[in-house]
Structure 1
Amino acid sequence: MDVEILARIQFAFTIAFHYIYPPLSIGLGLLMVIMEGLYLRTGDKSYETLTRFWTKIFALTFGIGVATGIVMEFEFGTNWATYSRYVGDVFGSALAAEGIFAFALESGFLGVLIFGWNRVGPRVHFLATVGVWLGSMFSAVWIVVANSWQQTPAGYHIVGEGIHARAEITDFWAMVFNPSSVDRLSHVWIGAFLAGAFLVLSVHAWYLLQGKFVEISQKAFKIALAVACVASLSQLFTGHRSSEGVAHNQPAKLATMEGHYDTLAPADLYLFGWVDQKNQKVSGLKIPGGLSFMLHQKFDAPIKGLSAFQKTDRPQAVNAVFQFYHIMISIGMALIGLSLLSVFLWWRGVLFQQRWLLWIFVWAVFLPQIGNQVGWFTAEMGRQPWVVYGLLRTSDALSEAVTANQVLFSLIMFSLIYLLLFILFIYLLNKKIKHGPDDLDTEQHRPGQAEMVNMLNPKTPKP
């Protein structure tokens, strides 16, 4: 197989696996801040119990996320050396900022968050919880900034020529606030909130179905449901803003997302369909002129189609991008419907009597994860054939020395290691969920080592 295809598959696999965990960390961090904040405000120990329980799961996702993220940085050097040289000044500054402003903040407070219970005051511990959550949020900022610069480069100039050319930053803040970074960051953040919220909903829906931890599960379910409802509705706004940005900055990607080929013709909005790339046609259920209306508020407004671009300057996997994009939209609408229905039943006071709905929530945990994955696939595959849009082609970004056999061997090795990590993650996650939240009264009065010795070896009183 071609070395470029193998290198792309390897990077796609590693980043897709890694991207399971950072959204969970961001989303769970928000839920933990809310739960612990409610404990400080109300004094209700059940909120502290919930925070302690979800802190354990947060620590698990954080650890696996760090382990799986390191590999990608090595791949930049081994498989994509030309790319690394070309964007090293830009990408390196963003990664350095992540380490200084995000990872240091997150890891610095993490020890207090995990081990600080009963060792620091409640307000100090809450500050640590907020610090860890903000660190995870800031980490997403710099990763999205770096990736968004590849989509819409700004604040740079090119130094050198040919294979020695590289991008240098001329305006750091123009690079940070490039045309797509803010919209994409808000979209990623909200997707992470949904991932965390639906994990909490899934676990506590299972507890309610089993009749375990009922009181605190109802409280946790309501908190997560409120977050899910706000986040799912907000995703409509951020998604629309992102689409407008793509239409302005990457018209070929937008045309690919909707399978629109006609040059300067009104564009339909497909609910679902299939792209026949050979005949440049799409079959499926559509709203005629719907995309034109969404972007320009006119059903007959022309949208630049794929036929307006050279074949070498537009994505080749049109149907794949089309399908990924519409799966993301479908999942987003399903999450909105599920959240609004549940809020209505909550308002009616019959939410927890609907066992069928609780079973849906148990399995709905996969929907935000799938939505996040296919959203990234849409963004990255829709950018092709450019690794840096309009500047550097993917085919020109490869390392010259790496061979297809080397990439294939490392791909197999990483697949096995990641499979073991995933099995370990599922095993530990399942173990923690089955154990459930600890009873604080029992935990706080748990006998120490000296007491255990006395209990096992009681002294016989002398007569």
Structure 2
Amino acid sequence: MDTEILARIQFAFTVAFHYIYPPLSIGLGLLMVIFESIYVRTKKKEYHVLAKFWTKIFALTFGIGVVTGIVMEFEFGTNWAVYSRYVGDVFGSALAAEGIFAFALESGFLGVLLFGWNRVKPWVHLVATVGVFLGSMFSAIWIVVANSWQQTPAGYHIVGEGLNARAEITDFWAMVFNPSSVDRLLHVWLGAFLAGAFLVLSVHAYYLIKGRYVDISKKAFKIALVVATVFSLSQLASGHSSAEGVAVYQPAKLAAMEGHFAANAPADMYILGWVDKEQQRVSGIKIPGGLSFLMHYNFNSPVTGLTAFPKDERPPQVNAVFQFYHIMVAIGMTLILLTCLAVFFWFKKSLFEKKWLLWIFVFAAILPQIANQVGWFTAEMGRQPWVVYGLLRTSEAFSQAVTSNQILFSLILFFAVYSLLFLLFVYLLNKKIKHGPYDESEDDDRPLTKGITEVLTGNA
């Protein structure tokens, strides 16, 4: 297989696997802050129990997220040497800022969060929880800023020529606030909040169905439902704003997202469909002029299509970009429908009587994760053939000294190791969920330090 394709597959696999965990950490961090804030204000023990329980699960996701993220940094040097040299100044600044503003904050408070129960005052522990949550949020900022610069470069100039060319920052804040960074950061944050909220909804819906921890689960479910409803609706607005930015700065990507080929014509919006790249047409269910209306509020306004760009500057996998984008949108609308339906039954005082709805929530935890993954696939595959949009092609960015056999061997090895890590994660997560926040016969007053040790060693 082609070396470039294998390098892309390997990086996509490691990034996609890693990205299972950071959104959960950010989303659970928000719920932990809410639970613990209510406890500090009301002194009601059930919120203390919820905060401790979800902190244990947070520790599991955080730990595996850190481990799986390290590999990507090595891949930059081994498989993408030209790219690393080209963007080194930009990425170096962003990652240095992450270390100062994110890792330092997280590491400073993580020990208190995990081991400070019953050792520090409740408000001190709450401050530590907020610190770790903000640290995860700041970490997302700098990663998204670095990636957004690849989508919409700003605040730089190019020094050197040929293989020695590299981007050098001329305006740090222009680099940080590049045209797509704010929209994309909000979209990532909202997706993370939904991932965490729906995991909490899933677990407590399961408890309610089984008749376990009913009182505490009703409280947790209602809080998580409010979070999920607010952010699922917010995600709709965020997605629209992001699409408007793509229309301005990456029109070829937008054309691929809706399978729009005509160079300068009104564009339809597809509910579902299939792109025939060779025939340059899409078969499916559509709203005529729908994309034109969303972009320009006029059904007859022209939208730039793929044929307006040279063939070597169009995303090569148009149908894949189209399908991933539409899966993301479909899941987003499903989450809005599901949360609003649950809120409706809540106001009708019959929410917890609807077991069929609770069962849907049990399995719905996977939906935000899928949406997060396919959203990134849309963004990254839609950017092709550029690794830095309009500046550096992917075909020019990978390491020339690495062979396809070397990449294939490491890919197989990573797949085996990551599969074991995922199975371990599922096993430990399932075991903690089955154990529950505390024993049904008595309150669980064991120190959290013991619980965390059991989670990480598999002896829970």
TM over 0.5: yes
Check whether the contact 1:49–1:439 (CA below 8 A) recurs between aligned residues.
no
RMSD across aligned C-alpha pairs, in angstroms?
1.0
Cα deviation, 1:251-305, whole Å, max 9, x if unaligned, reads 0000000000001100000000000111000011101001000111110000000
Check whether the contact 1:263–1:305 (CA below 8 A) recurs between aligned residues.
yes
CA distance in 1 between counterparts of 2:312 and 2:415 reads 32
Cα deviation, 1:34-79, whole Å, max 9, x if unaligned, reads 0001111111110000000000000000000000000000000000
Other-structure match for 2:125: 125
Cα deviation, 1:307-363, whole Å, max 9, x if unaligned, reads 000010010100000000000000000000000000010011100000000000000
Other-structure match for 2:402: 402
Check whether the contact 1:272–1:285 (CA below 8 A) recurs between aligned residues.
yes
Compute the displacement of 1:435 (Å): 0.7
Other-structure match for 2:244: 244
CA distance in 1 between counterparts of 2:340 and 2:90 reads 42
Closer/same/farther in 2, CA of residues 244 and 62 from structure 1, 3 Å limit? same
Gaps of 5+ in 2: 448-460
Q: Trace 1:22-421 onto structure 2 (pairs within 5 A).
A: 22-421=22-421
**Equivalent residue pairs, number:** 446
Of structures 1 and 2, the larger Rg is shown by 1
3-state SS of 1:31 partner:
helix
Check whether the contact 1:384–1:394 (CA below 8 A) recurs between aligned residues.
yes
Cα deviation, 1:204-244, whole Å, max 9, x if unaligned, reads 00000111000000000000000000000000110000000
Query: What letter matches 1:345 in structure 2?
Result: F
CA distance in 1 between counterparts of 2:320 and 2:311 reads 17
CA distance in 1 between counterparts of 2:430 and 2:61 reads 13
CA distance in 1 between counterparts of 2:411 and 2:100 reads 31
CA distance in 2 between counterparts of 1:429 and 1:87 reads 38
Query: What letter matches 1:182 in structure 2?
Result: V
CA distance in 2 between counterparts of 1:445 and 1:247 reads 55
Compute the displacement of 1:438 (Å): 2.3
CA distance in 2 between counterparts of 1:67 and 1:228 reads 28
Deviates most, 104-113 or 5-14:
104-113
CA distance in 1 between counterparts of 2:445 and 2:376 reads 44
3-state SS of 1:298 partner:
coil
3-state SS of 1:220 partner:
helix
3-state SS of 2:168 partner:
strand
CA distance in 2 between counterparts of 1:432 and 1:96 reads 36
CA distance in 1 between counterparts of 2:331 and 2:247 reads 22
CA distance in 1 between counterparts of 2:313 and 2:147 reads 20
Query: What letter matches 1:409 in structure 2?
Result: F
Identity %: 76
Query: What letter matches 2:45 in structure 1?
Result: K
Compute the displacement of 1:443 (Å): 3.9
Deviates most, 322-331 or 98-107:
98-107
CA distance in 2 between counterparts of 1:383 and 1:329 reads 19
Compute the displacement of 1:439 (Å): 5.8
CA distance in 1 between counterparts of 2:264 and 2:230 reads 37
CA distance in 2 between counterparts of 1:443 and 1:203 reads 18
CA distance in 1 between counterparts of 2:316 and 2:176 reads 29
Q: Does 1:6 align with 2:6?
A: yes
Cα deviation, 1:382-405, whole Å, max 9, x if unaligned, reads 000000000000000011110000
Query: What letter matches 1:122 in structure 2?
Result: P
CA distance in 1 between counterparts of 2:278 and 2:439 reads 63
CA distance in 2 between counterparts of 1:249 and 1:66 reads 33
Compute the displacement of 1:107 (Å): 2.1
Other-structure match for 1:455: none
3-state SS of 1:111 partner:
helix
Compute the displacement of 1:445 (Å): 8.0
Gaps of 5+ in 1: 447-463
CA distance in 2 between counterparts of 1:242 and 1:152 reads 12
3-state SS of 1:272 partner:
strand
3-state SS of 1:271 partner:
strand
CA distance in 2 between counterparts of 1:37 and 1:359 reads 29
What TM-score do you get using the length of structure 1 for normalisation?
0.95
CA distance in 2 between counterparts of 1:100 and 1:439 reads 41
Check whether the contact 1:203–1:433 (CA below 8 A) recurs between aligned residues.
yes
CA distance in 2 between counterparts of 1:280 and 1:57 reads 48
3-state SS of 2:117 partner:
coil
CA distance in 2 between counterparts of 1:280 and 1:99 reads 46
CA distance in 2 between counterparts of 1:354 and 1:98 reads 45
Cα deviation, 1:420-449, whole Å, max 9, x if unaligned, reads 100110111011101110269744489xxx
What TM-score do you get using the length of structure 2 for normalisation?
0.96
Cα deviation, 1:80-138, whole Å, max 9, x if unaligned, reads 00000000000111111111110121122111011000000000000000001000000
Check whether the contact 1:267–1:302 (CA below 8 A) recurs between aligned residues.
yes
CA distance in 1 between counterparts of 2:124 and 2:261 reads 58
3-state SS of 1:167 partner:
strand
Compute the displacement of 1:407 (Å): 0.2
3-state SS of 1:398 partner:
coil
3-state SS of 1:240 partner:
helix
Deviates most, 267-276 or 107-116:
107-116
Query: What letter matches 2:291 in structure 1?
Result: L
